[in-house]
Chain A
């Protein structure tokens, strides 16, 4: 694929991420922050998010282990943190699930929480794949450019 084609692909992949609601404006903010000093800023931030979310997810799962004795306050706090973190990269769909989760939490519905959390993790993983693909494309297009 030549450079131009790659660039096209990058652009359309990117657009679809927004169109399909995976990402919101925050992602664009990150792109704006990328500059000569930090040429891979967006990718770095996304990686950081994903590596940090491992521990956040663990916290939540731990808090839901003992179904008969759930500390919903704590659970809500953890989810609040996770949501905050997701907002950093503009993970729109993930955040939606976070909000739903907090509603169940508020209602004291642990089963609901568990179900939603599964969906949440799926969205989380899906976005990760998509972004990885996207960044690879970007690199390829960049390489093609310099070639």
Chain B
């Protein structure tokens, strides 16, 4: 399976071509125009004149669409309502459109979870880049799940639990989470900060304890009968809101279903199954996944989310979910302890959070480079945050357009729902990262990690181009950031060893398979050699090892991935971003 090189599936090969878009607009003229525009972007388009029809379609074909574009005004249902529903039920990125560009409307869109807001008349160039949102979401998802896994694993292993105690954060999609990351120590702080942001979903730091309570409540109620309200009541945490629980539950479900899938799959790469049992045993077993995941995920997923502690590397790629799963399961519980000696620890989170690789235990390492980052970033940011920030810089350019233009820019990103990684303020430090970027390149080999100085410029330019490639290739390894996709680009530029790329680069599938192969729980990791390890912090160590294998194939980026080392550096710097 894996070795797909990423070319195997049509989607992978030419991402974002083939992106499955659902367009909802009651205006038939616009519907026709948008359909044509999207087709010209090589996307797969489905049109809908009614919101109800759209919801039905989405429900009937779960997983059948990658992104939804909807007009704000529709006769049968308010566009914002549709937006909410889609977000809750399908968790797909939704782009809103309207002739009206009033700030209040745009704000409303963002608050309801829109990942972008386009003004009519819409230009084709604006539609070309919508794939970013899909990628980003995948990365976040991976990250969140990894975090969850990590939390779980902590519970299970109790290793370094103290380390993670504070650092546990769900590297969330929200920009607000960036803020939260600053206060990794105190989940409450973060909560407060997050709450202050008027987004629909306030980000909460799900610490080990909190997650434990959550799982306990879920198990008590019975997974089948569970609901946010019931959980909330049972958890008895006064400051927690129903929305917090709902979104956490969603991630948890995703996590479990991934585990489920992985169990069902044969994981060639390596013993993914092994850990199945521990992992699947209960909700709590999640954590062990991390370690496993790293390995596989990294490779294939590319989308590592570095959310922090869990090293689980997920493929951001929706398609690769299944494959991810495999990866996830790959390492048995004991993994954490051993393999990731490397630095898997979360790069993102200075503190103990583990690397996304799913290495639940690797806390210490993560700290590593964050320190370095301090100078450039607000150190506190958990790993997840960093990349985002970084991306922010890059992100803007990448964004190529417009989409962002009407959204509050990074600085205000907090308003944006989850999808935008850019932690606004931090990003400004990005420029400083650039130089480090170079450093990273060289450092990659060593554990210096972290700062992945993603060069914004390369990213920008490349982003569009590279993204395609990167995404394919890297999907697997994307370091938790959304940016990952972007980072990848930059990384590719750096050519870091393929490995690196895998790490975080493409959330979308292609790499997955490749990665999988390489990863052997724990073992692979070793093979890679340490250089990559550094990177591991952010990525799954496994990835690194795998990387060589897959990377080459996967990397298909336009850019050359030449030097793994560089890559790792980059990764690190990316994180720092």
Contact = CB atoms under 8 A, between A and B. Distances in A.
Given A80-B100, A88-B27, A33 B33 contact: yes
Interface in B24-47: 26-30, 32-33, 36-37, 40
Contacts, number: 55
A137 interface: no
B98 interface: yes
A11 interface: no
A1 interface: no
Contact of B73 (A49, A52, A81): A81
A44 B71 CA distance: 22
Nearest to B124: A29
Interface of B: 26-30, 32-33, 36-37, 40, 71, 73, 98-100, 120-121, 123-124
Given A84-B98, A85-B27, A29 B123 contact: yes
Contacts of B29: 45, 48-49, 52, 85, 88-89
A124 interface: no
A83 B99 contact: yes
Contacts of B33: 30, 33, 45, 88
A40 interface: no
A41 B29 CA distance: 11
A51 to B, nearest CB: 9
A35 to B, nearest CB: 8
A77 interface: yes
Nearest to B119: A87
A55 B121 CA distance: 21
B195 to A, nearest CB: 33
Contacts of B30: 84-85, 88
A33 B40 contact: yes
15 contacts: A25-B121, A29-B121, A33-B33, A44-B32, A45-B33, A52-B28, A81-B26, A81-B27, A81-B73, A83-B99, A84-B73, A84-B99, A84-B120, A85-B27, A88-B27
Contacts of A49: 29
Given A38-B36, A45-B33, A77-B73, A84 B123 contact: no
Given A32-B124, A49-B29, A85-B27, 17 more contacts: A26-B121, A33-B37, A41-B36, A44-B32, A48-B28, A48-B32, A77-B73, A80-B99, A81-B73, A84-B27, A84-B73, A84-B120, A85-B30, A87-B120, A88-B27, A88-B120, A89-B29
A33 B99 CA distance: 21
Q: With a 10 A CB-CB cut-off, give which of B26, B28, B33, B98 has the most chain A CB atoms.
A: B33
Contacts of A41: 36
Instruction: Determine the interface band of chain A, counting residues with CB < 8 A from chain B.
Output: 20 to 34
Contacts of B37: 33
A55 B415 CA distance: 38
A81 B33 CA distance: 16
Contacts of B124: 29, 32-33
A114 B408 CA distance: 37
B108 to A, nearest CB: 15
Contacts of B123: 29
Contacts of B100: 80
Contacts of B98: 84
A80 B40 contact: no
A89 B37 CA distance: 14
A81 B98 CA distance: 9
B99 A87 contact: yes
Contacts of A29: 121, 123-124
A26 B26 CA distance: 19
A43 B348 CA distance: 54
A38 B36 CA distance: 9
The 9 closest A-B pairs by CB, nearest first: A84-B99, A88-B29, A26-B121, A49-B29, A87-B121, A33-B36, A48-B29, A88-B30, A87-B120
A24 B26 CA distance: 23
B576 to A, nearest CB: 40
Interface in A59-112: 77, 80-81, 83-85, 87-90
A123 B10 CA distance: 48
A77 B74 CA distance: 10
Contacts of A45: 29, 32-33
